[in-house]
Structure 1
Amino acid sequence: MAFGSALASIGLSIPAIAIISVISDIRMTLGIDIKSTVLLGLSLFIITVSLATGKTNIMQGAVLVGIFLIYLFTSIVP
């Protein structure tokens, strides 16, 4: 139940704020540095490839875990 609530909060609030920022012509930033932005883009690419094929395998999961570990490492050791 908590997972669904968190997913709904994130899934609804970010698009709502993005729409409001476009309507009111205010620039919206995510507040993350370039390393984190690259890792986010890479993660979204891997997830898109996984969802486009309809099947997920252990390699795609391992790549996502690896990206997460790189993110944690770069957050702790700048």
Structure 2
Amino acid sequence: MVIALLVLLPETIAAARAALRDQIQISLNLALGSAMASIGLTIPTIAVATIWLDPPLQLGLGATQMVLLAVTVVVGVLTVVPGRATRLQGGVHLVLLAAFVFLAIHP
């Protein structure tokens, strides 16, 4: 978790600065790009590491996480497809993030 936060920190700061300058599309591109890069590098690395480690690789999600993932994908598509994001859509993404964090702490 710490490594992921360190990897995502520069892009997160740049995305926040772009959002403060009302450059929402640039902010979304930075945030989504860094998240995809992090996921795209982490999962294959763990998959290769399981060759040498004993425990099996498990990437499954529970029912709650599946619902949050589906809602996040739908909201993400509705945000990106029109070409412009609004503050309301950004707020919806933040509420989804808060829900995920809350449910991760208190399942």
TM-score by shorter chain over 0.5: yes
User: Hey, what's the Cα distance between the residues in 2 that align with 1:54 and 1:6?
Assistant: 19
Corresponding residue number in structure 2 for 1:73:
102
Q: Which amino acid aligns with 2:74?
A: F
Deviation, structure 1 residue 41: 0.8
SS of the residue corresponding to residue 50 of structure 1 reads: helix
Aligned length: 65
Percent identity, please.
34
Corresponding residue number in structure 1 for 2:93:
64
List gaps (5 residues or longer) in structure 1: 16-28
Identify if the C-alpha distance between structure 1 residues 76 and 8 changes in structure 2 by more than 3 Å, giving closer, same or farther. Answer: closer
User: Hey, what's the Cα distance between the residues in 1 that align with 2:72 and 2:35?
Assistant: 20
Deviation, structure 1 residue 75: 1.0
SS of the residue corresponding to residue 53 of structure 1 reads: coil
Identify if the C-alpha distance between structure 1 residues 6 and 64 changes in structure 2 by more than 3 Å, giving closer, same or farther. Answer: closer
Per-residue CA shift, 1:11-64, capped at 9, x if unaligned?
36769xxxxxxxxxxxxx632111011111111111101111001001111111
Pairing 1:48–2:77 present: yes
List gaps (5 residues or longer) in structure 2: 1-6, 9-32, 45-57
Corresponding residue number in structure 2 for 1:36:
65
Deviation, structure 1 residue 8: 3.1
SS of the residue corresponding to residue 90 of structure 2 reads: helix
TM-score, structure 2 normalization: 0.49
User: Hey, what's the Cα distance between the residues in 1 that align with 2:81 and 2:74?
Assistant: 10
TM-score, structure 1 normalization: 0.64
